[in-house]
Amino acid sequence: MKKACVLVVDDDPDVRELLLFMLKVKGYDVMAAADGKAALDAIEQQCPSLVVTDVMMPEMDSEQLIREVRARKGCADLPIVAMSAYGDWLAKAYISGATETVRKPCDPLDLLDVISRLLPDDGLGH
């Protein structure tokens, strides 16, 4: 069975690398993008199983990213987890179409639980 692929979108390279490492250790295939535009390019190349995105980013914030992803053929039901330290931004991401929201800083195990719940058939035995 093919492993689930998670796209991590965050403009903070340290956060991005930490999330990528954590997901790789858990057995997921991973992709990375530093902003919303790079995320759309990555999705164009290979549609991931799930997207984890920061809310506030340069170039394109998560609201616009989520709307554009939802408008793409085959991506309307793609699970998207939005992360932010600001509740009002999380609410905007949810209204834009985020599947789940997570407040930063988050416990990595909590984030993994959200991902496992959204990808029940991920082939990893989660």
> Which CATH code is given to the segment(s) 5-116?
3.40.50.2300
The amino acid sitting at 61 is: D
Enumerate the domain spans of the chain. 5-116
The answer to whether the beta carbons of residues 95 and 88 sit under 8 Å apart is no
* DSSP SS3 for 109: helix
Confidence of residue 122 (pLDDT cuts 50, 70, 90): low
Q: Measure Cα distances from 52 to 1, 36, 79 in Å.
A: 22, 11, 9
What is the distance between the alpha carbons of residues 5 and 27, in angstroms, rounded to a whole number? Answer: 9
Question: Residue 83: its pLDDT value, please?
Answer: 93
Confidence of residue 123 (pLDDT cuts 50, 70, 90): low
pLDDT digits (tens, 9 = 90+) for 37-73: 999 999 999 889 999 999 988 888 888 999 999 998 8
